Structure 1
Amino acid sequence: MSAHSVSVKKGVSIEVVTILWMIVEAGVAIGTGLVAHSLALVAFGADSIIELIAGTVLLWRLIIEANGAGLDRVKQAEKVSSWVVGIALMLLAVYIVVASTDKLWTHQGAESSFLGIGFAIASGVVMPYLSRAKKRIGAEIASKALQADGACSIVCAYMAWTVLAGVILTALFGWWWIDSIAALGLVYFVVKEGWEAIQEARGKEDACGCGCCHD
């Protein structure tokens, strides 16, 4: 088996892990967020749903290549994957802006939920690992869509840390607004990565300017 084939199979495995994790994370985050009236946790769960969609499409793209499909079909799957990842990131950016603005307008602070916070801690640890693995494997098999999905994963980690920081700072200092401000700080990164993925889908070979595609 060639090194390329081995890397593709690794890509399939990492996407399966991502999908399973996102299913659990989305259910826990959204469920606990609704119970605790926490928009931060609900936004965290919404990110998990976008990750789940993107991961499912990336898994489809990788399985096509793993099954020995022709180059043209793989490129077509790559383009579809880039579109989905890019649009998913843009939707995530919109959600962050809407949720954060609403929290600031209504003076809603981060509320604690032991189960939700526990999963946020776990995601803050697991997602950076998945992100690095996706970017490395994506570089090995020349899949910029997989590398862009790696950017989705690190955004998930950033949101997990934002949830934790918001809860801790609110509890310690009463800064009810801090998690909304931190979440808004992610929008530039999310939009940048989403636009790069869309440019890749449109066939702009040099669209990626973040450096992540060459790690």
Structure 2
Amino acid sequence: MSSHAVSVVKKGVNIELVSVLWMVIEAAVAIGSGIIAHSLALVAFGADSIIELIAGAVLLWRLTIEARGASLARVNRAEKISSWVVGIALLLLAVYIVVASIDKLWTHQGAESTYVGIGLAIASGIIMPILSRLKKKIGVEIGSKALRADGACSIVCAYMAWTVLAGVVLTALFGWWWVDSIAALALVYFVVKEGWEAVQEARGKEGACGCCHDDCC
């Protein structure tokens, strides 16, 4: 690998490190504020961040090894295992969101106003598209499908943040008890899509096109 290629890969390592650190903050704040405000949408958003953190950490490991010029064979095996873990976890999360949302709607349980949640959703909605562009740019430079696909995954995270933002803002402004559960159900599409694509990738399906695994965007 040339010195220029190594330099670009190191840029990929740095941007992925920033992404992983943000996922840690996002997960902690979303779950913490979600529990305090009884917001299912925020808790689900935080849980998804933890799962994406796992996938991001594996990619960070891969890029680090690539930057050192080592073989990627063992990392590819780890990625496959990670895909199974991430995929199954996301599908289970989707089941939880549906069951919990139906229960909240049935029992008329709403979320409290949470300005911390609003701030987090706004920050994620701004930061993730920036990270997405940087990941895709570096991914093109080093020929990394995984990094380009992770950039697409960051955009999905931004979509989820905007969905959560709509829910917490409407709850804070109008006190609509049912909005949080509806916002949480809206996240199910993204969660199931990511989960199914991760499982397909783990099974070695060539046609699998996921935001976290294949370069389709």
Q: Which category describes the TM-score, using the shorter chain as reference length?
A: 0.7 to 0.9
Aligned counterparts of 2:41 and 2:210: Cα–Cα separation in 1: 30
Letter in 2 for 1:86: G
Asked if residue 200 in structure 1 is aligned to residue 204 in structure 2, the reply is: no
Aligned counterparts of 1:177 and 1:77: Cα–Cα separation in 2: 41
Question: How far did residue 3 of structure 1 move?
Answer: 5.3
**What residue is the counterpart of 1:185 in the other structure?**
186
Is the Cα contact below 8 Å between 1:110 and 1:163 reproduced in 2? no
**What residue is the counterpart of 2:118 in the other structure?**
117
Q: Which stretch shifts more, 29-38 or 72-81?
A: 72-81
Q: Which stretch shifts more, 183-192 or 26-35?
A: 183-192
Question: How far did residue 123 of structure 1 move?
Answer: 0.9
Is the Cα contact below 8 Å between 2:194 and 2:210 reproduced in 1? no
Deviations 1:22-74 (CA, angstroms, capped at 9, x unpaired):
22222222222222222222222212222222222221122122221225345
Aligned counterparts of 1:5 and 1:119: Cα–Cα separation in 2: 34
**What residue is the counterpart of 1:76 in the other structure?**
77
Aligned counterparts of 1:64 and 1:98: Cα–Cα separation in 2: 41
Q: Which stretch shifts more, 157-166 or 10-19?
A: 157-166
Q: 1:214 to 1:49 in 2, by over 3 A?
A: closer
Is the Cα contact below 8 Å between 1:81 and 1:145 reproduced in 2? no
Question: How far did residue 152 of structure 1 move?
Answer: 4.1
Computed over aligned residues only, the root mean square deviation of the Cα atoms, in angstroms, reads: 2.9
Q: Which stretch shifts more, 37-46 or 133-142?
A: 133-142
Question: How far did residue 122 of structure 1 move?
Answer: 0.5
Question: How far did residue 171 of structure 1 move?
Answer: 4.5
Q: 1:184 to 1:38 in 2, by over 3 A?
A: closer
- Structural mapping, 1:156-171, within 5 Å: 156-171=157-172
Aligned residues: 214
Letter in 2 for 1:33: G
Question: Is the partner of 1:96 in helix, strand or coil?
Answer: helix
Question: Is the partner of 1:186 in helix, strand or coil?
Answer: helix
**What residue is the counterpart of 1:213 in the other structure?**
215
Aligned counterparts of 2:3 and 2:207: Cα–Cα separation in 1: 28
Aligned counterparts of 2:8 and 2:39: Cα–Cα separation in 1: 40
Letter in 2 for 1:89: L
Aligned counterparts of 1:42 and 1:159: Cα–Cα separation in 2: 12
Is the Cα contact below 8 Å between 2:39 and 2:180 reproduced in 1? no
Q: 1:41 to 1:208 in 2, by over 3 A?
A: closer
Question: How far did residue 16 of structure 1 move?
Answer: 0.8
**What residue is the counterpart of 1:25 in the other structure?**
26
Aligned counterparts of 2:47 and 2:195: Cα–Cα separation in 1: 16
Structure 1: gaps of 5 or more residues: none
Question: How far did residue 125 of structure 1 move?
Answer: 1.0
Aligned counterparts of 1:60 and 1:48: Cα–Cα separation in 2: 18
Letter in 2 for 1:186: L
Q: Which stretch shifts more, 51-60 or 137-146?
A: 137-146
Question: How far did residue 17 of structure 1 move?
Answer: 0.6
Is the Cα contact below 8 Å between 1:57 and 1:84 reproduced in 2? no
Is the Cα contact below 8 Å between 1:58 and 1:81 reproduced in 2? no
Task: Provide the TM-score with structure 2 as the length reference.
Answer: 0.79
Aligned counterparts of 1:108 and 1:188: Cα–Cα separation in 2: 22
Q: 1:93 to 1:150 in 2, by over 3 A?
A: farther
Aligned counterparts of 1:150 and 1:99: Cα–Cα separation in 2: 30
